[in-house]
Amino acid sequence: MKKQTRWIIAAVCLLLVITVGVGLYIRSTQMAGEKAGAITLNLNGKGVTVTLKDLNQAAFEGETVNGKGDRSTHAYRGVELKALLTKNGLDAAKVTAVTASSADQYTAELTGDEIREDKRVYVAVEIDGKAVEGIDAGTNGAQLVVFGDPNSRRNVRYLSVIDVTGN
């Protein structure tokens, strides 16, 4: 076997091993979060786990717009994101940006001003009396709810991680 071929095989094997390793790491992290029935708050790089029970704090309602432009009003249970951050030791006034990610890697960006706005951004665990579905059948989860948007693109289902950046 040529020396060049050996190098190529070694590089391809290394690539495969790294890919499998990263893939399994991601999957194990996802499974740990699902098992606990929780979401992770990353506050400036520091992770805090919040259970669905802790998120079920208050009732609220509001109007959302779907992809077709149809408006509908729903009753929710959950917590305002601003309050959730404050409860976990972060001053909402210092938040500059928030990225919400779902268990299937969908992400939505929010600005600090949107977070600070009253009755704008919530994390819901119940919608119209029914528990929010988790990504796997039969499990419960959380959903980001952003009121006032022209569509529901930022209403992230299967909410898994909220990354907060602040000063």
Partner 1 sequence: MKRLTTRQLVLMAFCVVLGLLIKRIISPVTNVLTDFFRIPGGSAAVGFSLAFLLIGREAAPVFGSATLMGFLQSLLALALGFSGYQGVFAVLTYTLPGLIIDCSALLMKRRDLPYFLCVSVLSCLASAALSDALVFHLAGIALLLWLLLAACSGVVGGLCAQLLYARVQKILPAEERTRT
Instruction: Using CB under 8 A, list all residues that contact partner 1.
Output: 4-5, 8, 12, 15-16, 18-19, 22-23, 25-27, 30, 99, 101, 103-105, 107, 135
Map tokens 């579905």 to a residue.
Answer: 133
Beta strands 38-43 and 159-166, pairing class: parallel
Q: Nearest 5 degrees, angle CA 27-CA 124-CA 79? A: 115
How near is the Cβ of 7 to partner 1 at its closest, in Å?
9
Residue closer to partner 1, measured from CB, 78 or 143: 143
How near is the Cβ of 114 to partner 1 at its closest, in Å?
17
Residue 81: both structure tokens together: 């994101």
How near is the Cβ of 101 to partner 1 at its closest, in Å?
8
Residues with Cβ within 8 Å of residue 49, at least 6 apart in sequence: 33, 36, 38, 39, 40, 41
How near is the Cβ of 41 to partner 1 at its closest, in Å?
15
Ramachandran bin of 73, using left for φ above 0, alpha for ψ from -120 to 50, beta for the remaining angles: beta
Residue closer to partner 1, measured from CB, 16 or 75: 16
* Structural contact between residues 133 and 79, judged by C-beta atoms closer than 8 angstroms: no
How near is the Cβ of 83 to partner 1 at its closest, in Å?
26
Residue closer to partner 1, measured from CB, 18 or 59: 18
Residue closer to partner 1, measured from CB, 18 or 58: 18
Residue closer to partner 1, measured from CB, 29 or 86: 29
